[in-house]
Structure 1
Amino acid sequence: MTFYEETIRSKTIYKGNVTEYVVDDVKLPDGKMAKREIVRHDGAAAVLPFTNDDKLILVKQYRKAIDQLSIEIPAGLKDETDENSMETAKRELEEETGYNAKSWKFVTSFYSTPGFTDEFLEIYEATDLFQIEDPLSPDEDENIEVIKATYDEAWDYYNKGLLRDSKTVFALFYWKMRKLEIKLGE
C-alpha cells in the first residue's frame, strides 16, 4: 500500500512569531481528497541538566495553553543566532537557569506531535554544571522559577500532575533508565 499524500494546495492562514498555521488540500493514496491542518514550527532543543549531587534542574512556569503551572526541563526555540540545536540548548539553559555545563551529550530527538505539527525537538544531557556570573536574560515574557529536584521529588511532581509535558516525562524515564544502568553496573 502507498502511504504518500500529495499536496494539491497549501494555504497559510496565520503566521506568528513561533508558529505558522497551514491548511493543505491533499490527495490520498486512494484518490480521495482531504484537508490537513498543520502547525509549522522551527524546532526546539531541551536540556537534562544534572548537578554533581544527582539533582535535575527544572523550571516552573505558567503555561497558558493548559491554564496551569508546569514543571519542565529547560527548553526553547531555535533562533537565527543558533548554529545548531546544541547551541539552542546551551543558550536556553543559560537564559532559563543561569547555568552552563562543561559536558554535553546528545540524547535523542523526536517529532513532538506529528499528527498536526512538524515541531522537531532535540534533547541533550548536560553535566558538570557551573553558574554563569552574568547570564543571558530570560525572554521578557517568561516568568520562571528554577528548581533543583531529587529523583523522588521529580517523580512526586509527576504524580501531582505538575510535570506532564512530553519532553520532561521523557526526561524522567531517561533518568530512571540511567539509574538502573548504574545499579546494574555495580
Structure 2
Amino acid sequence: MEWRVRSSRYVVRDRWISVRADECLTAEGIEVSPYYVLEYPDFVHVVAYDADDRIVLVRQYRHGLGGTSLELPGGVAEPSDADALATARRELREETGYQGGSFALQATLSPDPAKLTNRLHLVVAHGVCPGRFSPDRSEQISVELVSRAQAYELALSGAIMHAQHVGLLLTALQRRF
C-alpha cells in the first residue's frame, strides 16, 4: 500500500513551512510526480474551562481569511516545550493569560494526512484562572468566555469558521476527562 519515494527536493524551506516535491511510485508502480508535501511543526489547540465552567476563546485577525476569526487558543510546539501539555499551557497563558488548572491530552490527529506531515494535539483544561497575557507582537487578540451551550451554538452556526476548531470543540464538548 505504501508509496516508494524515488527522490525529494525542497521547493521552500523556512522556519514556518517547508514544501517538499517528491517523486513517488505507488504500490502498483504508477508514477506520481511531483507530489507536494507540506512540512509544518506540530501544534496544539486548547479547550479551556474556567472555574465557572466557561470556555476560553480568542478572537484575532487572520490574514489568509482577511478578517477576524473566533477560535480556540493554541499554537505551534516549540523545541523547548517538553510535550503537547507544555505547549498547551504556554500558548493558553500567552494568548489569554489563563493558567493553572488541570490539563489532559484528549486526541492527537492529522490535520490533513494527504499532504501535511504534522500532528494536531487537542488538549482540554479545567479550572484555569485569569492572569496577564502576552501575545506575540503580531497578534492582536481579544479573549471571550462562553458557556458550553454558547460554544456548541457558535460551532454549529458558522460563527466559529475554522473547520478544525469546530471539530475539536465539538469533540471536547462530547467528552470529559
Shared fold (TM-score, shorter chain, > 0.5): yes
- Residue deviations 1:31-79, cap 9 Å, x none? 1210211110110111110112221100011222233321111110011
Using the TM superposition, give the Cα deviation of residue 130 of structure 1 relative to its aligned residue in structure 2, in angstroms. Answer: 1.6
1:155 maps to which residue? 152
Q: Residue 164 in 1 paired to residue 138 in 2?
A: no
* Unaligned runs of at least 5 residues, structure 2: none
1:159 and 1:106 map into 2 onto residues whose CA distance is 24
Whether the 8 Å CA contact 1:71–1:157 is kept in 2: the answer is no
Cα RMSD (Å): 1.8
The share of aligned pairs that are identical, in percent, is 23
TM-score (normalised: structure 1): 0.86
SS of 1:168's partner is helix
The TM-score normalised by the length of structure 2 is: 0.90
Aligned-pair CA distance for 1:175 = 4.4
Secondary structure in 2 matching 1:108: strand
CA contact (8 A) 2:156 2:166 kept: no
Whether the 8 Å contact between 2:85 and 2:104 is mirrored in structure 1 is no
Tell me what 1:39 maps to: 38
Which of 24, 27, 50 lines up with 1:26 in the alignment?
24
Residue equivalent to 2:139: 142
Alignment correspondent of 2:174 = 177
**Residue type at the aligned position of 2:124:** E
Contact 1:59 1:71 in 2 (8 A): yes
Comparing 157-166 with 61-70, greater Cα deviation is found at 157-166
Matched residue SS, 2:100: strand
Runs of 4+ in 1 over 3 A off after TM superposition: none
Superposition deviation, residue 159 in structure 1: 4.4
Cα 1:108–1:176 change in 2 (3 A) is: same
Secondary structure of the 1:158 match is helix
Q: How many residues align?
A: 175
> 1:65: which partner in 2?
64
Structure 2 Cα separation of the partners of residues 176 and 42 of structure 1 = 26
CA distance in 1, matches of 2:75, 2:130: 19
Superposed displacement of residue 128, structure 1: 1.4
**Structure 1: tracts of 5 or more residues without a match:** 182-186
